[in-house]
Amino acid sequence: MFFYSPVSGSCRRAEGFLAQVLQRRRNHGTFKLYRVDEKERPDLVERFGIETMPTLVVVEDKVVRARLERPRGCREIESFLAPWLH
C-alpha cells in the first residue's frame, strides 16, 4: 500500500521512484499496489497508524509485514521490497 498526499512533492517523487522499481522487476504483477490518498481514505490512514506521507506498507496474509516511511529513492524502495520482488 502506498499512502500519499496528492499535494505533496515528496509523495509525487516517491511514486515515481516506486514506478521505476516496479518496471525493472519481472514479477511486479504478482502483487497488487494500492494507492491510498490520505484525504479520500482517512479511515485506512488511521487503521494502519500512518503518521507521515509518503509511507509504503506491505500487507501479506492480512498482516503488516513491513513499513517504509518517506522513501528517498529507487535503491531504498528496491531494498525494502526485495523480499517480495524477484
Q: Tell me: the pLDDT tens digits for 26-83?
A: 665 667 889 999 999 999 999 999 999 999 999 999 999 999 999 999 999 999 998 9
74 neighbors 22 (Cβ within 8 angstroms) = no
Q: What are phi and psi of 39, to 5 degrees?
A: -80, -35
User: First vs last Cα of the chain: how many Å apart?
Assistant: 19
14 neighbors 4 (Cβ within 8 angstroms) = yes
CATH topology for the 2-84 domain: Glutaredoxin (3.40.30)
86 or 77, which is more confident? 77
6-10, 19-23, 51-55: range with lowest mean pLDDT: 19-23
pTM: 0.90
15 or 23, which is more confident? 15
How far apart are the C-alpha atoms of 81 and 56, rounded to whole Å? 10
